[in-house]
Chains A and B, each alone.
Chain A
Amino acid sequence: MSTAAPNVIEERESSILVKGRQRKSHLKCDADSIAGCVSQRACVYCGARVVLNPVTDAIHLVHGPIGCASYTWDIRGSLSSGSELYRNSFSTDLKENDIIFGGEKKLARAIDELVEKYKAPVVFVYATCVVGVIGDDLEAVCKKAAQKHGIQVIPVQSSGFIGNKSAGYQAACDALLRLIEPRSAACPPGNKHEVKSINYLGDFNLAGEAWIITEYLRQIGVEVNTVFTGDSKCSNLQKAPEASLNIIQCAGSMFYLAQQLEELYGIPYMRVSFLGLEDTSASLRSIAAFFKDLQMKRLAEELIQRETAAVKSQMEGYREKLKHKKAAIYVGGGFKAISLIKQFRELGIDVVMVGTQTGREEDYQTLHDIADDGTVILDDANPSELERFMTEKGAHLLVGGVKERPLAYKLGVAFIDHNHDRKHPLSGYVGAVNFAREVHATVCSPVWKYARGTGGGNYAGLPQC
């Protein structure tokens, strides 16, 4: 018998579960969205673009009609310590004639004109939907341009319809592997543990987050060889094979790259998370353990103690104000969702709903394991579902991305952007405090008093913040 409410589509039932209420502990995920749904998901191009865009000194050329370039113009909030070239928007702006006769010539001209203007070491050429249909030979055009200009011109196979955002992550990783490739002969895989140098995968330096983590690692004696891809430059990325370890923050986008780097260059990888105090400390410890270096272990313990002590009173202050509030989570990847649950626990906040756009089966298994009984877990949710479960569960706060913000606000629910639009670094110890401050700023805003007056909000009966 169906237990779903009328506004839950039948096909969607297998993508939603309530912990402790149902016997099943796994849910349908990683599947295509249903036609006619208000999905919060994006496309292959989107996935590829968000991964590659932080490469600061690259020309990011979007091959297609104008829209795809317009919507991704400088929206990521990835900071650069050098070039600002990546913040421009380059498009071949395909017109009807190009669709009929092919866009290859225009693409070649665009590459020529841009390379002449900007002298960049690499051009990424993104395929959009229509390019996949009209059959432009991106490989051939890029190869020719690369020879002509003596730089790398790398096609990114990101036509929107060939899969979902995850396929775009993989297309981006393939492009990165091609960028790295030419130098592979120079650094044969060997015993790299002697060099305490790592690649930091899956941090896009939003609000400067990668800089915080790089500094922690420096303090315990680990050098960050390159970040994939926050504040990265072509020349740094090409040195990736020289590292002795890859650590992965955003596994959704970078797990594939880590596997490839291990296979091709013998670099082992480990998952880390620098979201929240608990995960940050655990991650630093595992990195130190990997290098089997007593000095590093000691430095790590000292750093953990020092940084934890530095934020302790602030965290306790926020915890006092925020405990017993209820949070809902709807983010892109599974690993971020897992970290957020732990981070909310540190603040005494109960998570009542958790969902992702592209989480994988093992992510959902972990979410199920760590969630409290009664927590709603869902994949590829639509706004009606988010509304229903937030209202039913009495959430005070939603963590999500750009499309979820006004939805939460309309319901009188506070909101935190844990995506492109974040304004403060949320990583590491300092990030944990920023996160707590952001939660406090929104949950305890005086605006909800007025929102309550119009019927919204879930604050009745709660102690004042």
Chain B
Amino acid sequence: MDTGFDPLTIRADFPVLAREVNGRPLVYLDNAASSQKPQVVLEAVAAFYRHHYAAVRRGVYTLSEEATAAYEEARDKVAAFINAPDRRSIVFTRNTTEAINLVAHTWGRANVGPGDRILVTEMEHHSNLLPWMLLCQEVGAELVYLPITDGGRLELPQLERLLDGPVRLVAVTHVSNVLGTVNPVQAIVAQAHAAGALVLVDAAQSVPHMPVDVGVLGCDFMAFSGHKMCGPTGCGVLYGRVELLEHMPPFLVGGGMIERVGFTGVSWASLPEKFEAGTPAIAEAVGLGAAVDYLERVGMEAIHAHEKALTAYAMESLAALPGVRLIGPPAEERSGVIAFTVASIHPHDLAYALDRQGIAIRAGLHCAQPLHERLGLAATARVSFYLYNTREEVERLVSAVWNAQRWLAG
């Protein structure tokens, strides 16, 4: 590739990648769950605590002014990263899960009533399923599923029929955390809007890995997590169109999110403070800002191309092993996530056997139990790539799976 993208240079930015696990150099392949952190992010958090830390927004002293400026600068960076037109459309949450719960609790309870419908897909992570399931149960609405094919794609021809009715919201994942399928969100949004429904996009697996532009997607809400994109834990993002956020009631109430409180009444603070009650994860937001800077320096197009190439290589190599079954669509239709099974080896045993060889992968249901049920799978093993993974690591993965087959075969 001619992008100047070199995973070996990038690896040097991530201190943990230098360590060994069980006597072997660590191969970290659980990036869909969480990513490792580059030195610049660790340093940004430490430097913020060392030099600028104080509570934000309320203090009139120098430290608090500096902390507030750093916190709000992180918001600007995130807004620019996803091309949000207005900084007020960026609400810091704990993570994707909290962002989606926020929308379900506030917009949902104000706008979804008996007989209304929420449309989700069969490939959703529990965090983009359970908030809607609970909302529907509470208000007497109906949860409707857009099916998937056996090959792990959305049944898009059924979308029009399913949108014909009182559908208030379509909640869809941009990239499946199990199948890796990249869904055509832009087309789904256009169809949903034409039918009068809003769209929330779970972008937990897309924003860290590819260029994402909320203007192009046209979605009404989008949620993602900082910790999956080189940022610290504890700081995620809800993007919402400002007109929608302005009319939504608050989520958590308390300090920092009011304009005025009297003995009998309250007026809420303006956006985005209205949705950030209590002292937020300030240093974590600053760290997320540093992560955004880092990813932009590397280049999201280059990261995406690198992961796609690794995924194609890994799928081809894994498929060549006897007994390996890959779940989901072909490489060209997916992001850097591969779920698979190995005949007569339980995914937990496989993950354990790989860990003995220094390789970290995920095994289980990946918080997507209905999807596994739909595909008739008890559990799967999953590898997921990021910018610092290499072809050599894919080769170590493949020979480690081969070893596991020899060690565990009955």
Q: Do A and B come from one complex?
A: no
